Structures are given as structure tokens and as C-alpha cells.
Chain A
Amino acid sequence: MLTKPDEPASRTSALPKSLSLGVLAVVFIAELLLMFLLPRLLPTADEVVVGIADSIVLTLVVSPFLCFFIYREASKRKSADEAMAERSRELARSNADLEQFAYAVSHDLREPLRMIRVFLELLGKRYEGKLDADADDFIAFAADGAARMQKQIADLLDYSRVGSSGIELSPLESGVALERALGDLRLALEESGAVVTHDLLPRVLADESQLVRLFQNLIGNAIKFRGNEPLTVHVGAAEREGVWVFSVRDNGIGIASEHFEKIFLLFKRIYSPSEYPGTGIGLAICKKIVEQHGGRIWVESEPGQGATFYFTLPVMGDSSS
């Protein structure tokens, strides 16, 4: 569900066209001038004149072809830009539709599901031990299924809401966003005894609440999937090829490479809920947030060696928001 900002298509391809034509014109005029001036300035420069005449002929012959190629590349670029812009618009529309659908579905499903849960619970409590063991089991399975379904619907709703009211970009200190995320995770951090360190973090153009959420989900995961040794988490940032590459590195249980793509999908989990809690939506939300900022997110890890999650954000001064 990639969305890219619309690029002003005509502006980017007009420049090379006029520039190249201008250069050609200047060269041509310069050669003409030289051809007429040189014989008068240097009477013995016949070879030079002939040489210049040759180069003028060459220029005259070559320039139509050059023009042709330049125009063609420029118009190809232009239609590619327009196609890209149109595709972005379409994607944005279908994203909006999907989000609306997800919201409607999850919102309206909650009410009947609540009735199911509540009365299953009452049934279980009121008749526990009074019906036979099978009945107790059946009720327990039903109640559990309903509880899981409700959690998934709540998460789906949550996911559909990320960025649904638009994304507000503003220049902010990513370090401050990290501090806020750590504040919200205070209890979990204390309970796990985790130590979180970070590099000097840059100023970025981002949606503040989303960036806080992103950090919160990534660090929350690090806490959840910690190993036996005391948890350490390090948040870094490095500028590379015009983007900031953020990294969140932990010394937890790590991830096998066959799961690297899967974990960012909705509801996809590696471990069962009985081993580690959660419905498998945290990373899907991270991915959505990062992509809404025009970035990428990926992981590098080995089982038992911790994991490093990377995501990119544009360097400030680049985006025209």
C-alpha cells in the first residue's frame, strides 16, 4: 500500500529540454562566429577554418538526432511522471476505501460480538460444574474464540485508524519522540529491567504521534521478545544517501530469516499467543506508519543473536510537504 507524494511532472522534464537546446544553440553560434572571425584574425589559419567548418557540419548533422533523443527522453519521463502521479492518486483512493471498509466492519462487528462474549461468560460462571464436563469445555472454547476474535477486530480497527485522518508532518526532534515513547513504556521497562540507549538523534520531518507510536511498538516488541540475559536496546540513526536510517537493536531472542517478510503482515505471528501475547499487528502498524512517511522498514537478525529493526525517514529539507 505504497503512497508517494505527487511530483510536479512537467517541471522536472522541462528543464533538461530547454537546457540542452540552449547549449546546442550556444555551441552553434560560437562555431559560426569563430568560422567568420578566425580568418580575419589569423590569416594563416586555413586548417583551423577547415577544421571548424568540419565541426559545424558535424554539429548540424548530429544536432537533429540529439534533439530527437532529448525530446523523446523528456517526454518519456513526463508520461512516466504523470503515470506515477495517477497511480499514486488511485492508490490513495483505494487505500481510503479499504480503511473505510475496515473501520465499518470492525466497528459494527463489535456489538454482536460483545453480546456473545458477555453471555458466554455468564453461562460459564452460572453453570460451572452443573452441566457435564463436555459442556464446560464447549463453553470455554466458544468463549476463547470470541475473545480472540474481539481482540483481532479491535486491532484491525486500530490499524485502519493509523493515518486515516491524514498525516501531519512537522519538523521535530526524533529524540524527543523517543523519550515520549519511553515514558509511555515506563512500567514495562521497569519490570523488565531494560536499559535503553541511543545515539544523538536527528531532527526529522514527521507526524509526531505516529513517530512516537513507531518507537513504542518497536521497543515494546524488544521488551516482549527479550531473552534470558538483561535486555539492552540501542536506538541509532545514520544519514545515508539522502535519508535517515534509524535502527532499533536489541539482544533478545532474534528472528529466523524465513520470517523476515512475514512479520510485517497483518496478524501474522511466529509464535502462538500462548507463548507470547499479541495478535500480530504491531509491526504491520509500524510498516504502515513508515510507508506513510515515504520510508522503508526491514529487519536484520539471527536466532539467539537479537534483532535490529531499521526504518528510513527523509532528511529534512528534502520533502515538499
Chain B
Amino acid sequence: MNHPASCGPVEIFLVEDNPGDVRLTREALKEGKIYHNLWVAKDGEEALAMLHRKGEYSDIPVPDIILLDLNLPRVDGRDVLARIKEEEELKMIPVVVLTSSEAEQDVLKAYNLHANCFVTKPVDLEQFMMVVRAIESFWLTIVKMPTRI
């Protein structure tokens, strides 16, 4: 396991406007055996406010990993990604771009903006859950993530 013994739960941050997908992600993560907290933002603006810990969000922790849907209301997912990867305090947080888009331009654009990886959301329910768990297992147990300051 990545985390040093005394690190506590993994802080997972989901930016997703579709409540159904939010629920699915929550369930999939619960089934995995990893001790975590899930934070959800429903649009780009809320996501940025939470990441910058402004106002009512001043108490939430810096996430260990961000799952980001590209197509969001208010502030687009691509802009959120760009902002995250520009800012010193946020750029090292792994960002997994989750989206229904399969278009190659989107893939390239995401990687150009330094997304850590890009995953197309499957249409099938069971596949979706598997994907989320595969992402969780990959980022939380297979590779090393930067530790929170």
C-alpha cells in the first residue's frame, strides 16, 4: 500500500454533474476495500472553489486524487484541468479524466493539459463499476502517489 501508516483515509475528489454517475462511483469505491473519503463537486466552479478551499470549503482537505468529467456546466472540465495543472499547489495531484467522449481530439487535449490519464466511461453499468475500481486499484495500490503536505 502506498500510504505511510499514519496517513489516514485517501481523499478522493470527484467532479461530475450527473448524479447517477456520482452514485455509481460512490458505490464502486465502497466495494473496493480502500479506506477513503469521497468529495463531490457538481460543476467546474464548485470544483475550483473546493480545490482552493474558499469560504465554506476552507476545512476540506487537499485531495489525493481527482476524478474529473470533461463536460461540465459553468466552468468546463478542460478549464478546470488547465487550472489545476498550472497551480503550484495543485499540479502534482493526479487527475484522472473520466468522460463519455471517445473523440481523439479530447484525448490529446487532455493529455496536452497534463491529465495523468484519460478514461472513457463505459455505457454498461457493470463495466462502469469495474472501471472505477480499476482506477482506484491502479492509483491507490499499483503506482505511487504524491503525499499530502
> Which B residues, 25 to 39, have Cβ-Cβ distances below 8 Å to chain A?
33, 35
Query: Judging by beta carbons under 8 Å apart, are B33 and A187 in contact?
Result: yes
* Cα distance A180–B5 in the bound complex, in angstroms: 10
* Cα distance A209–B7 in the bound complex, in angstroms: 8
Interface size class of A (residues with CB under 8 A): 10 to 19
Query: Judging by beta carbons under 8 Å apart, are A186 and B5 in contact?
Result: no
Query: Judging by beta carbons under 8 Å apart, are B6 and A209 in contact?
Result: yes
Q: How many residues of B contact A (CB 8 A)?
A: 8
Query: Judging by beta carbons under 8 Å apart, are B33 and A212 in contact?
Result: no
Kindly provide the distance from the CB of B121 to the nearest chain A CB, expressed in whole angstroms. Answer: 29
Asked if B19 is an interface residue, CB under 8 A from chain A, the answer is no
Counted as pairs of residues, one from A and one from B, with CB atoms less than 8 Å apart, the total is 23
* Cα distance A216–B3 in the bound complex, in angstroms: 14
Partner of A216, one of B6, B9, B33, B35: B6
Asked if A213 is an interface residue, CB under 8 A from chain B, the answer is yes
Partner of A212, one of B5, B9, B35: B5
Asked if A171 is an interface residue, CB under 8 A from chain B, the answer is no
Kindly provide the distance from the CB of A271 to the nearest chain B CB, expressed in whole angstroms. Answer: 23
Partner of B35, one of A181, A186, A209: A186
* Cα distance A184–B33 in the bound complex, in angstroms: 12
Residues of chain B within 8 A of A186, CB atoms compared: 35
> Which A residues, 66 to 117, have Cβ-Cβ distances below 8 Å to chain B?
none
The CB with the most chain A CB atoms within 10 A, among B4, B6, B35, is that of B6
User: What 1/0 mask marks residues of chain B from 1 to 25 whose CB sits below 8 Å from any chain A CB?
Assistant: 0001111110000000000000000
Which residues of chain A have a CB within 8 Å of any CB of chain B? 180-181, 183-184, 186-187, 208-209, 212-213, 216
A–B pairs, 8, beta carbons within 8 Å: A180-B6, A183-B9, A184-B5, A184-B35, A186-B35, A187-B33, A209-B6, A213-B5
